[in-house]
Structures are given as C-alpha cells and as structure tokens.
Structure 1
Amino acid sequence: MKLYYSTGACSLSPHIVLREAGLPFELVLASTKTHKLQDGTDYYTINAKGYVPLLELDGGERLSEGPAIVQYIADQVPAKQLAPANGTLARYRLQEWLNFITTELHKGFSPLFNAAMPEEAKALFRAKLAERFSWVDAQLEGRQYLMGEQFTVADAYLFTVSNWGQYVGVDLGGYPNLVAYRARVAARPAVQEALKAEGLLK
C-alpha cells in the first residue's frame, strides 16, 4: 500500500493507524501547497481532489477521505481491535466519533489556516472550537481513550486534529482530560514512529 501524505496534515491519522496495524506501506509526500510529488508529478493526476490522505491499495485501487481510509485499514487486521466489528453498535459509536471529529473539529480548523480569513472571523471559529473541545474534554472523563480502554482509529484522528491548536492560537491547556489523553496517545510507539517519520519529532 501507498499512503500519500503531507507533513502534519490530517494524513497523519491514517499514517498512525498503518503503524498501529503493523501493515507494510510506502509513504509518498504530496505537497498541499504545490500539489506536486517530490519527483515533480502533478498530484491532481493521482487524486483529482488535490488533498491528502489518499491510500493506494496493492491492486491499484485508490481510497480517499480519512475516516474511510482508517476504517479500511482497521478491518484488514481485526485482531488489533483498531475498530469494533462491522454491524455492531460499537462500530456506529466509532463512526459517530469520526463524523464529529471530521465535521466539527477538522473543518473548524480549516479557516484558521487560511491567510485570507479576517482575524474577526478567526476569533469566531476559535470560540466554536473551544466549545467543541470543552465537550470532548467532558467525554474523556474517566476514559483512557474515546471508546473506553481500547485505542481506536478515532483516537489517531483526534490526536492529529488537536495537534493543530498550537499553530493557530487554539489553546488546549484548559482541558485537563484532553491534555492527559493527548500525552497518552503521544507516548504510543506507533505514534512516536509516525511523528518521527514526518519530521514532527526529533
């Protein structure tokens, strides 16, 4: 498999999941600024959407959208319990988390990375993210991970997205459960490996 990624972007989530799964894969850097690969290939010829992540399967099929990709990876290695079994209520709970992270958190950060966005508007987005993270913090009370004691693909995604706060003025220091949770996730060997591979950890 090949994972097309951009350093520190949402593609870090499937990158972590691939390492947690122990599956062989190749990392291919795709710049979100130039939309070119390191060999000069136009990334739009690989993914017409132009963004990461994109997972190319061994048979040549390509899968886009992070929440779909991480569930696909998890289902290749059910013994790792990175996602509950399909058809169970727990699986829908996982999808509930993935949907929340992608729509309420991930998309909430997008305007903050836009240089053309007025500061007044950014303040509104920061305030909305603060509300959302306050809710997440409450959900983490007494839990090791989002789904309880078991690390899942939703944790890889929340860790990735919450990482962006430091770059755009979203302070997570006031959420003790979230801070402790982030430290737990960051300490996982697969997460350390992914961060090092992307140059995010020395």
Structure 2
Amino acid sequence: MTLQLFGHPFSSYTWKALIPLYENGTAFTFRNLEDAEANAELEARWPLKLFPVLVEGDRTVLEATAIIEYLHVHHLGPVPMIPADADIAVQARMLDRIFDNYVMGTMQRPVLDALLPEERRDPVGLGEAMARLDKVYAWLDAHLAGRAWAVGDSFTLADCAAAPSLFYADWVRPIPEALANLRAYRARLLARPSVARCVEEARPYRAYFPLGAPDRD
C-alpha cells in the first residue's frame, strides 16, 4: 500500500512529517494541498482540514507527532525517530512538545495577528508572545549546551519538531547573537539534507508569510 501525505510545502507541521520520510528514504506520494482534488479528499477524511494527514490503505493518521510515531512503528528506517532507550525517548517526546507548543505555537500568535484588520490587532498579546519566545529561546540555549541535537547525539522526533519551529520563529523574533548554542543548532538543522530539502520546496511559497519573509535562509 502506498503512503500518502496530505500537506503544504510551506506548512511547518507538514515539514515535521516530511523530515522523517526524507531521512529514511521512505516511499510516499505527496498530496500538495495547492491541488483542489487533494483538498477535497483531505476534507472528506478530516473535516477540520488540518494537516498534515498520513494515509495508508484504510488508515488515516492525524497530527504530525502521531504520524512520526506511526512511521516508526510501521516503516522503521535507518534513522529511528524514537530512541530505543526509554528514558531518552521520554526526553525526545518532551522536547517535541516544547518546540510545538512554546516555540511554534507562540510564534504563530504574531503571524495570525498580522492577518487581522489593523483595528482588531492585539499589541499586548504580541508583546506577550515576543517575551515568551525570549524565555524559551534562553531555556533552549542552556539545554543545548554540549549537545549536537535536541536530546544528544542522535537526530530524533524532537529535531523534526525543532527544524520548522526554529526556522519560522527566527523570522518572527530573531534569535539573539548571544544565544550561540541555539543559533548553532538552528544552523545544523538547516544544513541537514532532509531539512534543506523542505526549505527549498517551500521557497516558492514565501510570499504567503504574512509578516514578509526575510531575505535570508
């Protein structure tokens, strides 16, 4: 049965699901939601039309983290995304939630605010989001001291979450130069072939970024 991934090349959570597929050379068909037929099929499978969504036969898997867990169970490749050591696996899952909730979730607040009419924008909420990013950046910088990847020497689920989170968050709130560990980690992520491929595939859609994509990366 052929794996199908419904998503969009510019979507951060689509990247998160694409990265393990690219890392392991897993065969799949990408259903780009720029296509009307793919959109209609996605809605039929998941009325909220949130993505990515993975389909294999009669199985439909929602949410990027669950997709990575499914791939680990059913399409295990040479780069396991869930560490074999149970304690390290807990750390990977913890960092996955930190990147999704406190980096990506926070940076989406100013992005969504920019989509509103000016009279409905929330400068107080915007300031709170920036302050929260500053705090999580500092925590991550300390956490990453002496680590190549989010939980040590192996690329895991946590790094799949980190790559799109830090890529886009740095567009919204640039990581300060003083946070050398975090800046170097972001650079390592973007240099990894699976992530670099996502960056290039998303490049044609940068005009979609409401705050204006910076002329870098």
Which residue is 1:91 aligned to? 89
**Pair 1:51-2:55 in alignment:** no
Task: Write the letter of the residue equivalent to 2:133.
Answer: L
DSSP 3-state at the match of 1:62: strand
The offset of 1:39, in angstroms, is 3.4
Match 2:104 to one of 106, 109, 118: 106
Runs (4 or more) in structure 1 with deviation over 4 Å come to none
Q: Is the 8 A contact 1:6 1:29 kept in 2?
A: yes
Match 1:199 to one of 196, 203, 215: 203
Which residue is 1:34 aligned to? none
CA 1:160–1:41 in structure 2 vs 1: closer, same or farther (change >3 Å)?
closer
Q: Is the 8 A contact 1:30 1:52 kept in 2?
A: no
CA 1:145–1:40 in structure 2 vs 1: closer, same or farther (change >3 Å)?
closer
Task: Write the letter of the residue equivalent to 1:118.
Answer: D
Distance in 2, matches of 1:150 and 1:193, equals 20
What pairs with 1:99-138 in structure 2 (closer than 5 Å)? 99-114=97-112, 115-116=115-116, 117-138=121-142
Match 1:14 to one of 12, 17, 35: 17
Task: Write the letter of the residue equivalent to 2:129.
Answer: F
Distance in 2, matches of 1:41 and 1:165, equals 27
DSSP 3-state at the match of 1:50: coil
Structural RMSD (CA): 2.2
Uncovered stretches (5+) of structure 1, i.e. residues with no partner:
32-36
**Pair 1:73-2:76 in alignment:** no
The offset of 1:165, in angstroms, is 2.3
Distance in 2, matches of 1:137 and 1:8, equals 26
Percent identity of equivalent pairs: 21
Distance in 2, matches of 1:195 and 1:145, equals 19
Which residue is 2:6 aligned to? 4
The offset of 1:110, in angstroms, is 2.3
Q: TM-score, normalised by structure 1?
A: 0.85
Q: Compare 137-146 and 117-126 and name the one that shifted more.
A: 117-126
Which residue is 1:28 aligned to? 31
Q: Is the 8 A contact 1:21 1:73 kept in 2?
A: no
Q: Is the 8 A contact 1:137 1:176 kept in 2?
A: yes
Q: Is the 8 A contact 1:141 1:177 kept in 2?
A: yes
What is the CA deviation profile of residues 116-148 of structure 1, one whole-angstrom value per residue up to 9, with x for unaligned ones? 342231111111111011101111111100111
Distance in 2, matches of 1:61 and 1:126, equals 39
**Pair 1:139-2:143 in alignment:** yes
**Pair 1:183-2:187 in alignment:** yes
Match 2:169 to one of 165, 169, 184: 165
The offset of 1:176, in angstroms, is 1.1
The offset of 1:191, in angstroms, is 1.8
Distance in 2, matches of 1:197 and 1:38, equals 19
What is the CA deviation profile of residues 2-32 of structure 1, one whole-angstrom value per residue up to 9, with x for unaligned ones? 111123322111111110021001111225x
DSSP 3-state at the match of 1:27: strand
